[in-house]
Chains A and B, each alone.
Chain A
Amino acid sequence: MMKWLHTMASSAWFYRFSGKMIPWLMGIFGVLFLVGLYGGLVAAPADYQQGDAFRIIYIHVPAAWMSLFIYIVMAVYGFIALVWRIKLAEVLLISSAPIGAAFTFLALVTGSLWGKPMWGTWWSWDARLTSELLLLFLYWGVIGLYAAIEDKRTASRAVSILTLIGVVNIPIIHYSVEWWNTLHQGSSVTLTDKPSMATEMLIPLLVMATAFKVYYAISLLIRTRAELVEREPNSKWLKQVIEENNHE
Chain B
Amino acid sequence: MNKMTPFHDVYSLISSEFLVAFRHRYEALNPLLFFVLVCLLFPLGIGPSPQLLNTIAPGIIWAAALLAILMSLSNVFRTEYDDGRLELMVLANHSLVLLTTIKLLAHWCLNVLPLILLSPIIASALGMSFDVQITLILSLLLGTPVLLLVGTTVSTLTLVIPQNGMLLALLVLPLYVPVLIFGTSAVNATAAGMSAAGPLYVLAALCVLSLTLSPFAIVSAIKIGVSQ
Chain A residues packing against B (C-beta within 8 Å): 82, 134, 137-138, 140-141, 144-145, 148-149, 151, 154, 157-158, 161-162, 164-166, 168-169, 172-173, 175-177, 179-180, 183
For window 127-174 of B, CB contacts with A under 8 Å fall at: 150, 153-154, 157-158, 160-161, 164, 167, 170-171, 173-174
Q: Which residue of A lies closest to B218 (CB)?
A: A161
Contacts of B98 in A (CB 8 A): none
Given A158-B221, A165-B154, also A137-B167 (CB < 8 A): no
Contacts of A137 in B (CB 8 A): 170, 173-174
Cα A135 to Cα B157 with chains together (Å): 19
CB of B197 within 8 Å of the partner chain:
no
Q: Is the CB of A151 within 8 A of B181?
A: no
The 5 closest A-B pairs by CB, nearest first: A176-B178, A141-B171, A137-B174, A176-B181, A180-B181
Tell me which of A140, A161, A172, A176 contacts B217 (CB under 8 A).
A161
CB distance from A172 to the nearest CB of B (A): 5
Cα A82 to Cα B228 with chains together (Å): 16
Of B158, B206, B228, most buried by chain A (CB within 10 Å of CB) is B158
For window 50-83 of B, CB contacts with A under 8 Å fall at: none
Cα A138 to Cα B220 with chains together (Å): 20
B-side binding surface: helix, strand, loop or mixed? helix
Q: Which residue of B lies closest to A147 (CB)?
A: B167
Cα A151 to Cα B160 with chains together (Å): 10
Cα A154 to Cα B226 with chains together (Å): 10
Contacts of B170 in A (CB 8 A): 137, 140-141, 144
B interface, size bucket: 20 to 34
Cα A183 to Cα B217 with chains together (Å): 33
Given A148-B164, A154-B224, A179-B181, also A161-B157 (CB < 8 A): yes
Of A157, A165, A179, A180, most buried by chain B (CB within 10 Å of CB) is A165
CB of B213 within 8 Å of the partner chain:
yes
CB of B35 within 8 Å of the partner chain:
no
Q: Is the CB of A165 within 8 A of B150?
A: yes
CB of B18 within 8 Å of the partner chain:
no
CB of B125 within 8 Å of the partner chain:
no
Contacts of A164 in B (CB 8 A): 217
Q: Is the CB of B220 within 8 A of A161?
A: yes
Cα A145 to Cα B174 with chains together (Å): 14
Given A82-B220, A176-B178, A177-B181, also A162-B171 (CB < 8 A): yes
Tell me which of A144, A149, A161, A169 contacts B178 (CB under 8 A).
A169
CB distance from B5 to the nearest CB of A (A): 36
